[in-house]
Amino acid sequence: MEYGICNLSVVPLRAEPSDGSEQVSQVLFGETFEIVEWNDNWVKIITSFDNYPGWIGRLQFVMLGHIAYKGIKQAPPSLTHRPVTQAWKITNNSILYLPIGSSLSFLEGTTCRIGDEKFEIIGEIGEVENLAATAVSFLNAPYLWGGRTHFGIDCSGFTQSVLRAHGINLLRDASMQAEQGYEIKSLYDAKLGDLSFFENKEGKVVHVGIMLNNEKIIHASGKVKIDTIDDKGIYSKDLKRYTHKLTVVKRFF
């Protein structure tokens, strides 16, 4: 098996080996993965922390040895917690702008090492705020299919990013996340950090959001926003109608 690590700020993870293919997720700085297939200018990977498959460009990562990969799997690195963290690439005196949830692999002091490159993390690495503050920091982030950052994010990328900042690793898609955690029987008992899941007409889970309390939910739909919720689902005050049918509420803490 071969392994790699992302040395760019954020890389699109695509469904097929093509620049025109659908973005299904993103790989962030310092994240590792298994390489399962090579195809011209593309490699098919499976991400380490959420086991998600897809294709990235050959020039968008560096190789990682088995021992180093195993070490990161056993002792996951610290994550960035601010919307943007600057990293000075020492080799060519350039700056990378790291999104929230970037992995500071092989961090020594304030220097992060990826392959032969060293990155000096500028300023404070950042402290974890409370979950509500982390979630609300995404307000007005535009909806982007497969996105995981403040500059574009989808519903399950939002829940995954926020909970990961607080020590909970979720799978990538809403339908996958709905299989995790344990069920809360009544919406009345929901509390900050619980996830609510929503279904389409066929009964498939297609949406997810984070409960702020048992009446308010923050979620990515068009943009990250706060709406009201009841037993029927999410009510949009902008659209003046219910937009998502509630399936289940899950707890992870």
Residues 84-112 pLDDT 10s: 999 999 999 999 999 999 999 999 999 99
User: Is residue 126 pLDDT above 70, yes or no?
Assistant: no
pLDDT in tens, 144-185: 999 999 999 999 999 999 999 999 999 999 999 999 999 999
pLDDT in tens, 32-91: 999 999 999 999 999 999 999 999 999 999 999 999 999 998 999 999 999 999 999 999
- Tokens of residue 159, six digits: 């829940």
Which residues, other chains included, contact 237 with Cβ-Cβ below 8 Å and sequence gap of 6+? 227, 228
Bridge partners for 182 per DSSP? 251
Q: What is residue 237's predicted lDDT score, i.e. its pLDDT?
A: 87
CA dihedral of 227, 198, 129, 74, whole degrees rounded to 10: -170
CATH of the domain spanning 131-251:
3.90.1720.10
CA dihedral of 197, 199, 205, 211, whole degrees rounded to 10: -10
| Cα–Cα distance measured from residue 49 to residue 43, given in angstroms and rounded to the nearest whole number | 18
pLDDT in tens, 169-178: 999 999 999 9
CATH 2.30.30.40 residue ranges in the chain? 2-121
Q: pTM of this prediction?
A: 0.96
Confidence of residue 25 (pLDDT cuts 50, 70, 90): very high
CATH architecture for segment(s) 2-121: Roll (2.30)
CATH 3.90.1720.10 residue ranges in the chain? 131-251
Residue 178 near residue 194, CB atoms below 8 Å: no
